Structure 1
Amino acid sequence: MYALRCDAVNQAIWDGLPDEARERLALALAAACDNPLAATQPYGEDDGIMRTLVTGDILVVIYLGHQTKTLHIFQIDYLG
């Protein structure tokens, strides 16, 4: 299990999403914390560290800290 890390800027973006999108994102991130490589896709070249999480109208760029078992939200884009 990976711990989720989110800075204040990305937390504000997440909090500002419509209710349904915010819930989808929370569920997708919970799955990513459980198994980050299975729940995400490579971001560019597959280095196993920079990943993307796509939930319909939301794209999240994630940095995986495998040594520390942390999942860092790098960017959240709402496309809706």
Structure 2
Amino acid sequence: MYALRCDAGNQAIWDGLPDGPRQRLTLALADACADPLRFTQPYGEDDGIMRTLVTEDVLAVIYLGHQTKTLRIYQIDYLG
């Protein structure tokens, strides 16, 4: 299990999402924390570190710290 890390700016974006997109992002991040390579896609070249997490209305760029077992949200984009 990976621990989720999110800075204040991305937390504000996450908190500001409409209810449905926020809930879908929350569930998708929980899945990604359990198995990040299964529930995310490569961001550009597949280095296993920079990944994207996509729901129907949100795209998040995340950084996987495999040694520290952390998943850090790098960017959140609302597509709705």
Q: TM-score scaled by structure 2? A: 0.99
> Paired residues, what number?
80
Distance 1:21 1:56 in 2: 8
RMSD: 0.3
C-alpha distance after superposition, 1:18-44 (max 9, x if no partner): 001100000000000000000000000
Task: Provide the residue aligned with 2:75 in structure 1.
Answer: 75
AA of the residue aligned to 2:47: D
Distance 1:38 1:60 in 2: 15
CA displacement at 1:57 relative to structure 2: 1.1
Task: Provide the residue aligned with 1:47 in structure 2.
Answer: 47
AA of the residue aligned to 1:21: P
CA displacement at 1:62 relative to structure 2: 0.3
For structure 2, the 5+ residue unaligned runs are none
For structure 1, the 5+ residue unaligned runs are none
List aligned pairs for 1:9-24, cutoff 5 A: 9-24=9-24
Identity of aligned residues (%): 81
Structure 1 runs (4+) deviating above 6 angstroms are none
CA displacement at 1:68 relative to structure 2: 0.1
